[in-house]
């Protein structure tokens, strides 16, 4: 994630989300941990939501209603996705990023599509000159999907 300083609780939540994504843990465990931690003084719901969105959308679905509107507005998921497109640009990655964007938007989490598009374009520019069309295809499809989503809004 893009935030440099993370609490032990955030790190543990991220590990839970990764375990859920890998099928090693049920999402309910991560959701319950979110609920337990949400009462702590230094709890940042926007940061925790971004962790869930990025690593385990099934956890995000379970906590999104627990995150108030103001915290949803502070989500930085667009930047997180954009920052990772240069290293995660395969079919599965791009499909996951599209699903994250759709999930976020459908649940009142703003996603700056321009930021994600910039990430796509940077990644495509980096691949240009050495990668073949098949390698670039998932990013190209993601960019086309984002442009279609943008024009629909």
- pLDDT tens digit sequence for 3-14: 457 789 999 999
pTM for the structure as a whole = 0.91
Q: What is the pLDDT of residues 90-145, one digit of tens each?
A: 999 999 999 999 999 999 999 999 999 999 999 999 999 898 999 999 999 999 99
Contacts of 89 (CB under 8 A, 6+ apart): 123, 127, 135, 138, 139
> Which DSSP letter does residue 7 get?
-
């Amino acid at each position: 994630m893009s935030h440099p300083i993370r609490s032990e609780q955030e790190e543990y939540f991220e590990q839970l989300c990764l375990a859920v994504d890998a099928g090693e843990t049920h999402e309910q465990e991560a959701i319950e941990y979110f609920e337990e931690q949400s009462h702590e003084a230094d709890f940042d719901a926007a940061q925790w939501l971004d962790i869930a969105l990025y690593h385990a959308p099934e956890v995000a679905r379970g906590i999104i209603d627990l995150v108030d509107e103001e915290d949803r507005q502070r989500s930085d998921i667009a930047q997180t996705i954009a920052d990772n497109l240069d290293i995660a640009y395969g079919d599965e990655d791009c499909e996951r990023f599209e699903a994250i964007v759709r999930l976020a938007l459908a649940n009142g989490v703003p996603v700056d599509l321009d930021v994600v598009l910039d990430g796509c374009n940077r990644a495509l520019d980096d691949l240009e000159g050495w990668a073949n069309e098949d390698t670039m295809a998932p990013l190209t499809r993601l960019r086309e999907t984002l442009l279609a989503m943008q024009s629909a809004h």
